[in-house]
Amino acid sequence: MSGAAVATGDAKARPRVRRSRVFLALLQRDLRVARKELPFFLIRTTLQPLLFIVVFGFLLPRMGFMRGNYTSALLPGILAVSLTFASIQSVALPLVQDFGFTREIEDRLLAPVPTRLVAAEKIVAGVIQGMISALFVMPVARLIMGPIPGLTLSHLPLVVLVVVLGATAFSALGLLLGTAISPQQIGLMFSIIVAPMIFFGCAYYPWTGLAAVPVMKYAVLANPLTYVAEGMRGALTPSIPHMPVAATAGALLLLSAVFWGLGLRSFERRAVG
């Protein structure tokens, strides 16, 4: 059918909005909202890892239950937990409300850009929030645990690579879970998916140590957190035995791509009826 009969008035003259500009506006909105509730966000995402540090990085070593260099294996793991937990939460939880009863997200879905761009923005916002959470935990952890043997910032580009890839994989996973799971089940999701993921993600112990329990050593390879924790060890405390950095980066890249694809598809399915 031709559009000849359909006049568009002066609309043709109206310049098309650049996608990058809309993307930035969406990102600004998410960061504005995040800033308003920054204290709650930090408590929600970092309290659990920090409490863990107090017990396992401070009390137990003092009591002599842990050997001195346990903190070197623990710190990168704790940072990995803060990073991924904050990333997954800051995408999944707001989405549940956004797609809930009132569909608050509608005003962003009406933006004159492809729906996938709105979804992609959510992932980027999640990456930023995950990094803020990890950046907050880092100095506090160092303060509680005292000097950490073997900790080095000399491989900073590597740290950034692992952080960005890890946050991306988990933000995208948050997008998938936040759009695929009903609001009633979101609490359940954190209990049965996220909590086991944290405990069996090599965050609190190095992967090489699992040689003592070979079944576990292979089972945890299915857990995305394993690669973030091991990657952080490779980048921050390379003297601790760890998975080859190339392997962790490759795995994170693959996981990011898979979750990104699934997350975007799930978002679109929820967004367009």
Residues forming the site for other proteins (CB under 8 A): 1, 3, 5-9, 11, 14, 16-18, 21-22, 25-26, 28-29, 32-33, 36, 94, 97, 102-104, 106-115, 271-273
Helix (H, G, I), strand (E, B) or coil at 259: helix
Closest approach of other proteins to the CB of residue 93, in Å: 12
Closest approach of other proteins to the CB of residue 267, in Å: 14
Closer Cβ to other proteins, 25 or 124, answer by number: 25
Closer Cβ to other proteins, 36 or 62, answer by number: 36
Burial grade of 83 (CB within 10 A; 0-12, 13-18, 19 or more): buried
Rounded-to-integer distance, Cα 273 and Cα 270, Å: 7
Closer Cβ to other proteins, 61 or 94, answer by number: 94
Q: Residue 67 in contact with residue 158, Cβ under 8 Å?
A: no
Within the chain, residue ranges assigned H as helices are 19-36, 38-52, 60-63, 70-98, 106-109, 115-145, 156-180, 186-189, 195-199, 214-219, 224-236, 245-271
Closer Cβ to other proteins, 128 or 229, answer by number: 128
Cα angle 196-252-160, degrees, rounded to a multiple of 5 = 105
- Alpha-carbon dihedral sign for residues 261, 267, 271, 272: positive
Which residue, among 150, 169, 140, 165, has the nearest Cα to 233 in the 3D structure? 150
Closer Cβ to other proteins, 33 or 59, answer by number: 33
Burial grade of 248 (CB within 10 A; 0-12, 13-18, 19 or more): buried
Closer Cβ to other proteins, 34 or 254, answer by number: 34
Q: Tell me, what DSSP letter sits at residue 17?
A: P
Closest approach of other proteins to the CB of residue 123, in Å: 18
Closest approach of other proteins to the CB of residue 36, in Å: 7
Closest approach of other proteins to the CB of residue 3, in Å: 5
Closer Cβ to other proteins, 123 or 202, answer by number: 123
Closest approach of other proteins to the CB of residue 103, in Å: 5
Q: What radius of gyration do the chain's Cα atoms show? A: 21
Closest approach of other proteins to the CB of residue 238, in Å: 41
